[in-house]
Amino acid sequence: MTENLGIFVGKKTKAIVQGITGAQGSFHTSLMLEYGTQIVAGVTPGKGGVTVHGVPVYDTVEEAVKEHPADASIIFVPAPFAADACFEALDANLKTIVIITEHIPIRDAIQLMNRARQLDAVVIGPNTPGILTTSECKLGIMPSHVFKRGVTGIASRSGTLTYEIAAGLTARGLGQSTCIGLGGDAIVGLNFVDVLKEFERDKQTLAVGLVGEIGGNLEELAAEYVATEGYSKPVVAFVAGRTAPLGKRMGHAGAIVMGKAGTAKSKIEAFEKAGVQVAEKPSDVAKLLSKKLAKPRS
Amino acid sequence: MKLFEHEAKMIFAKYGIPTPRGGLADSAAQAREIATKINAPVVVKAQALVAGRGKAGGILFAESPDEAEKAAEKLLIMKIKDVSVRRVWVEEKVSSRKELYFSVTVDRANRCYVAVASSAGGIDIEEVAANSPEKIVRVLIDPVYGFGAYHARQVAKRLAYNGAQMLDLASIFLKHYQMTMELDVEMAEINPLMETIDGKFVAADTRLIIDDNALYRHPEFQKRSLEEAELTPQELKAQKSKLAYVKLDGDIGVIGNGAGLVMATLDVVQLYGGSPADFLDVGGGASAEMMAKALVIVFSDPRVKVVFINVLGGITRCDEVANGILEARKRVGFTKPLVIRLVGTNEEEGRRILTEAGIHVLNSMEEAAKKAVELMKAAGD
């Protein structure tokens, strides 16, 4: 029996699509099916009974998973209803939930993440391009053609920048194991440390690329983790926003909670101190990773 | 959405948090009237959303209605960081024994709200936090149980207050938290929270930021967002078109899809010695119409000398982008040199459309950034 490759999702993942009858939901369901993802059912309240690209649609998640056992969900529901959709998926015992929707209120996102933690479920997003384990499973909206099967794991806070970097890796003949978008919102389900832990366990992944940006302190926490845990796989990072103006300050409260964290400078320094090389341009990520992989590890 | 001080103060007051007596004036005569009514020394404060108002001279003290009128006259012709002051807030000057700090905001790493308090409030609070962290009280707020009355008392106690004062302070903290939850606040801050000489507490300065994503459930704020905010013509147009746009200081107009990619584009432009004039993210899945609008906005900025479009199509389709570029040419003409990098979904079609229209398209973001900087330098000669 072959082992599952990559992290969080793979060949065996059975997923439902919430919001499957909407324009985005329907369009991306067809692309996910094309990629080989097992989409077993869809949910749109009030549209139960129809099919979308051959996928049966139900009114509730409860009904959908009763007829079609599943372990994951991908959510395309509009922002005012997305949190409710995610609670519904959590209650139906789905353990991996990808929230594509952006603009979910912070208060709702906080409640969601708390519930997911209680139920030991993984939430990817919100405001994420999703997750893709090459040649096995795509739960997301990323363009499949930029990815190729391989040994680098990518975790990113940005959508298009992930494609830019993955395309760069692919062009250099370096494929990817799993690419995961953490999501662009203030409150997201996964941080870099969660993903680093998973990549460490994954046999397919030999090196990790982290794509960060200004704001928050996820990059600093990742650097600290790599330094203190003696991370066993090479890690390369890119941080977008070196030249962004410091316009988005939120009174003093942000600065007190975060300290100096949040600026590109703080993030880059933290990574370099932890021995994580930081790429100057997006294309340098592939260069640095291929150098790391070419070097025999001591 | 950032609120003006006067808006924030009215909301704090509505929630029963004591604020100094005051009123809003858009003329010096009106400021005088308010000061006369207050009948005590006042503070006249420029209403501006930009930070650093105090240091820019936007806060003046006045002993009499005469002085208040003069102060308002001065402030109402003032510009703070390029933004004209349109109104002043006139309020009673509070004599304080001590300045405290209190805020509720979002703790991203812990995925919850956090209450932050200090007995060393005032303008140096950030240095206090950095240098004497023991003077900062922090309470992570459980998403289910919330910030209860006992948390509020705990915080007041840790700021070393007892008895009736402790209860007064706790009641302010609790109301502050309730306001944060009910209004979907991203950040609510009182700094300073003054302890007056007779032992009462007054919120002397307040800041309030509402979560943009929750505005749909607060129609009272939706109405004001466009007319009240301090925006440049380009920013206003972008906001109306639902484009994410930030004005910068340089001369190369940048348009791209996805915040991360656009930020990286700005970085690369600077790396090659250029200086971006803006950040414009057309978002995911942008239509030809959005692209055309974006280009028209950037062209309309007189400081822009060269425009650099960097699109990597994921859910955005290159043919849509190409049609948008042609549409913009039809509407306003290409008044400035244009560098286009266009790859990804439907790339061939996008390229064909532009090439047939005589527009050259590049493959690599870095190559394109270099080219934009070269054109810029040539234009400057």
Cβ-based neighbour number of residue B46 at 10 Å: 28
- Same-domain pairing of B255 and B345: yes
How many Å is the Cα radius of gyration of chain B?
Answer: 25
Would the CB atoms of B261 and A161 count as touching at under 8 Å?
A: yes
Give the pLDDT score at A262.
81
- Same-domain pairing of B88 and B100: no
CA of B375, closest CA in chain A: separation in Å? 21
Give the pLDDT score at A248.
45
- Give the strand order in the sheet containing B59-62: B22-25, B88-92, B42-46, B59-62
Q: Is B11 a member of any domain?
A: no
Residue of A nearest to B267 (CA): A243
Cβ-based neighbour number of residue A47 at 10 Å: 16
Whole-prediction pTM: 0.91
A121: Cα separation from own chain's centroid: 14
Q: Is B289 a member of any domain?
A: yes
| Tens-place pLDDT, residues B245-261 | 888 889 999 999 988 89
Q: Where would I find the beta strands (DSSP E) of chain A?
A: 14-18, 38-43, 51-52, 55-58, 72-75, 96-99, 122-124, 130-133, 137-140, 149-156, 176-181, 207-213, 235-240, 277-279
End-to-end alpha-carbon separation of chain B, Å?
Answer: 42
A8: Cα separation from own chain's centroid: 10
Shortest CB distance from B112 goes to which of A103, A110, A259? A110
Q: Per-residue pLDDT for chain B (381 aa), expressed as one digit of tens each?
A: 889 999 999 999 999 999 999 999 999 999 999 999 999 999 999 998 876 787 788 999 999 999 999 999 999 999 887 778 899 999 999 999 999 999 999 998 899 999 999 999 988 888 888 899 999 999 999 999 999 999 999 999 999 999 999 999 999 999 999 999 999 999 999 999 999 999 999 999 999 999 989 999 998 887 775 555 667 778 888 888 888 888 888 999 999 998 889 999 999 999 999 999 999 999 878 899 999 999 999 999 999 999 999 999 877 889 999 999 999 999 999 889 999 999 988 899 999 999 999 998 999 999 999 999 999 998 776
Q: Are strands A55-58 and B201-203 parallel, antiparallel or unpaired?
A: unpaired
Would the CB atoms of A146 and B344 count as touching at under 8 Å?
A: yes
Where b means 16+ CB within 10 Å and e means fewer, B177-203 reads bebbeebbbbbbbbbbbbbbeeeebbb
Residue of A nearest to B184 (CA): A107
Distance, CA of A39 to CA of A52 (rounded, Å):
11
Shortest CB distance from B213 goes to which of A103, A238, A259? A103
- Same-domain pairing of B277 and B252: yes
This model of the complex carries an ipTM of 0.88
CA of A177, closest CA in chain B: separation in Å? 19
Residue of A nearest to B127 (CA): A256
- Same-domain pairing of B113 and B210: yes
Q: Is B135 a member of any domain?
A: yes
Give the pLDDT score at A185.
86
Distance, CA of B215 to CA of B29 (rounded, Å):
35
In order of A216, B77, B99, the CA distances from A221 in angstroms are: 10, 46, 33
Would the CB atoms of B106 and A187 count as touching at under 8 Å?
A: yes
Give the pLDDT score at A263.
87
Give the pLDDT score at A238.
96
Q: Check if B211 contacts A (Cβ < 8 Å).
A: yes
Give the pLDDT score at A250.
46
Give the pLDDT score at B225.
58
Known catalytic residues of A are 252
Instruction: With CA atoms as reference, report the closest residue to B161 among B193, B113, B187.
Output: B193
Say if residues A110 and B111 touch (Cβ distance below 8 Å).
Answer: yes
- Same-domain pairing of B82 and B104: no
Would the CB atoms of B264 and A243 count as touching at under 8 Å?
A: no
Residue of A nearest to B130 (CA): A259
Q: Is B9 a member of any domain?
A: no
- Same-domain pairing of B370 and B237: yes
Residue with tokens 């040539």: B378
- Same-domain pairing of B333 and B309: yes
- Same-domain pairing of B270 and B193: no
- Same-domain pairing of B159 and B204: yes
Domains of chain A: 14-124 (3.40.50.720), 130-294 (3.40.50.261)
CATH assignment at residue B351: 3.40.50.261
Q: Is B366 a member of any domain?
A: yes
Shortest CB distance from A256 goes to which of B129, B143, B312? B129
Known catalytic residues of B are 101, 189
Q: With the CA atoms of B277, B279, B282 and B284 taken in that order, what torsion angle do they form, in degrees rounded to the nearest 10? A: 150
End of a domain among B196, B222, B248? B222
Helix B163-182 and helix B5-14: axis angle, to 10°?
110
Q: Is B5 a member of any domain?
A: no
* Domain carrying residue B328: 231-380
Number of domains in chain B: 3
Say if residues B203 and B193 touch (Cβ distance below 8 Å).
Answer: yes
Distance, CA of B189 to CA of B115 (rounded, Å):
10
Would the CB atoms of A163 and B312 count as touching at under 8 Å?
A: yes
In order of A251, B151, B177, B185, B195, the CA distances from B120 in angstroms are: 16, 20, 20, 24, 12
Q: Hey, of B255, B263, B266, B278, which one would you mutate to test binding to chain A, going by the most A CBs within 10 A of its CB?
A: B263
Would the CB atoms of B103 and A253 count as touching at under 8 Å?
A: yes
Residue with tokens 């994580």: A276
In order of A104, A191, A213, the CA distances from A156 in angstroms are: 19, 10, 9
Please report residues of A whose CB lies closer than 8 A to that of B112: 110, 114
Distance, CA of B25 to CA of B46 (rounded, Å):
10
Residue of B nearest to A213 (CA): B260
Q: What residues in chain A have per-residue pLDDT under 70?
A: 1-4, 245-260, 296-298
Please report residues of B whose CB lies closer than 8 A to that of A105: 184, 211, 213-214, 217
End of a domain among B168, B187, B222? B222
Q: Is B348 a member of any domain?
A: yes
Please report residues of A whose CB lies closer than 8 A to that of B144: 111, 114
Shortest CB distance from B186 goes to which of A80, A106, A221? A106
Give the pLDDT score at A296.
58
Dihedral-angle region of residue B163 (phi above 0 means left; psi in -120 to 50 means alpha; beta otherwise): left
Shortest CB distance from B105 goes to which of A184, A241, A253? A253
Number of H helices, E strands in chain A: 10, 14
CA B195, B196, B198, B202 torsion-angle sign: negative
As a whole-number percent, the residues of chain B with pLDDT over 70 amount to 97
CA of A110, closest CA in chain B: separation in Å? 6
Would the CB atoms of B108 and A114 count as touching at under 8 Å?
A: no
Phi, psi of B343 (to 5 degrees): -140, 165
Q: Check if B329 contacts A (Cβ < 8 Å).
A: no
End of a domain among B54, B77, B92? B92
Give the pLDDT score at B83.
77
CATH assignment at residue B64: 3.30.1490.20
- Same-domain pairing of B180 and B294: no
- Same-domain pairing of B258 and B284: yes
Q: Is B14 a member of any domain?
A: no
Give the pLDDT score at B283.
83
CA of A2, closest CA in chain B: separation in Å? 31
- Same-domain pairing of B31 and B170: no
